[in-house]
């Protein structure tokens, strides 16, 4: 009779996934913030003490109206949702196999039980590797999107400010910016968005 406690416990497969995908989601939420802030996309035609003109772009507004960003973010979110559903489905299948093994354990010989347990443990290890590979792929795609977005924002700002009318162009995000005060008169977000959307790849 194979009655000793099984090596694989209920819940072992699902325990880590929530945290992993939460981290992935957190990375996704930072996508535009990083690209926007690093790119200095905010501009406003303010004049400094030395006669230098300043400008700012509102990143929240940019994300809400930049078609390319919205489309690509939706694609990434869909892939993440599909990956999470895939992982959860595989976790559930392993849980079912574990349950069936537990039900059959009292009628199994020691050798049969050990073989079944080893087989399930191997599947669990393969699943963990599959999950890590899938998450790595998503993170790579997200990093590529960040890099692409960064490049687009940089190029757009350079073109927009080709006449050197602004000495500084800042980025602003509510609650996540070093700028403590901004005058809306110096907001050129709408103009920058128009340029970005005009140069966005056609579907």
CA-CA distance, 94 to 187, in Å (whole number)? 54
Is 12 a domain residue? no
Is 38 a domain residue? yes
Comparing 54 with 23, the larger pLDDT belongs to: 54
Is 2 a domain residue? no
Is 11 a domain residue? no
CA within 13 Å, CB half, 7: 11
Tell me if 160 sits within 8 A of 195, measured CB to CB: yes
Q: pLDDT value at position 141?
A: 96
Task: Supply the pTM of this predicted model.
Answer: 0.68
Is 131 a domain residue? yes
Comparing 28 with 183, the larger pLDDT belongs to: 183
Show the domain range for 87.
17-199
Is 9 a domain residue? no
Q: How many domains is the chain partitioned into structurally? A: 1
Tell me if 105 sits within 8 A of 2, measured CB to CB: yes
Is 82 a domain residue? yes
Q: Is 100's pLDDT higher than 50? A: yes
Q: Is 194's pLDDT higher than 70? A: yes
Is 7 a domain residue? no
Helix, coil or strand: residue 11: coil
- pLDDT digit string, tens, across residues 45-82: 445 545 679 999 999 999 999 999 999 999 999 999 99
């Amino acid at each position: 009779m194979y009655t000793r406690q099984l090596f694989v416990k209920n819940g072992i497969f699902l325990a880590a996934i929530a945290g992993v995908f939460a981290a992935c989601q957190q990375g996704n939420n930072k996508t535009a913030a990083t690209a926007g802030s690093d790119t200095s996309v905010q501009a406003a035609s303010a004049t400094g003490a030395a006669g230098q003109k300043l400008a700012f772009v509102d990143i929240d507004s940019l994300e809400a109206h930049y078609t390319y960003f919205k489309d690509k973010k939706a694609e990434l979110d869909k892939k993440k949702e599909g990956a999470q559903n895939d992982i959860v489905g595989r976790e559930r299948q392993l849980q079912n196999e574990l349950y069936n093994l537990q039900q059959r354990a009292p009628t199994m010989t020691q050798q049969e039980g050990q073989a079944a347990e080893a087989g399930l443990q191997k599947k669990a290890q393969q699943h963990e590797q599959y999950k890590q590979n899938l998450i790595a792929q998503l993170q790579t795609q997200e990093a590529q999107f960040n890099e692409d977005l960064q490049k687009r924002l940089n190029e757009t700002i350079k073109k927009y400010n080709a006449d050197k009318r602004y000495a500084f162009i800042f980025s602003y995000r509510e609650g996540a910016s070093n700028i403590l005060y901004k005058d809306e008169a110096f907001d050129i977000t709408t103009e920058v968005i128009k340029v970005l959307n005009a140069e966005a790849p056609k579907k």
